[in-house]
Amino acid sequence: MAVKLITFKTNQTIIASVVAENDERITVKETVQVIVQPSKDGPMMGFSPFLEYAQEFKTGISFDVSDILCITSPVTELENEYSKLFGSGIQIASSIPKF
C-alpha cells in the first residue's frame, strides 16, 4: 500500500495508506490530518486525528475524486513519521551518506 498526501479542494491535507483508487473514488485507511504549526524555530508539521472514531478508519474511507485538489507523495521525513504511527516503524533514509 502506498502512503499518499491527499489535499482536498477545501485546502485540508491528510496523509493515509491508499487501499483502492479509480477514476471516481479513492479509498484510504489510517488517515491523519497534516497540520502546520508555527514555532519559534519556524513552521513545524504535526498530525491530528481525522475520522479516527469511524468504523472505517482501519478498513477504508472512500472519497470522491471530484472533491480532491491533488494526490501527492510525501517527503521522506513525513512518511517516516507516519510510519512510526501506523507502519512497520522502518524508516527510509532521506539521503545516502557520501564516503
Phi, psi of 84 (to 5 degrees): -60, -35
Where do we find the cell 491530528? 48
Averaged pLDDT for residues 30-37: 91
pTM (2 d.p.): 0.81
Residue 97 has pLDDT above 70, yes or no: no
Give CA–CA dist 9/85, Å, rounded.
Answer: 26
- DSSP secondary-structure letter at 24? S
* Pairing verdict, β 68-72 and 61-64: unpaired
Go through the domains of the chain in sequence order and give each one's CATH number.
3-86 (2.30.30.100)
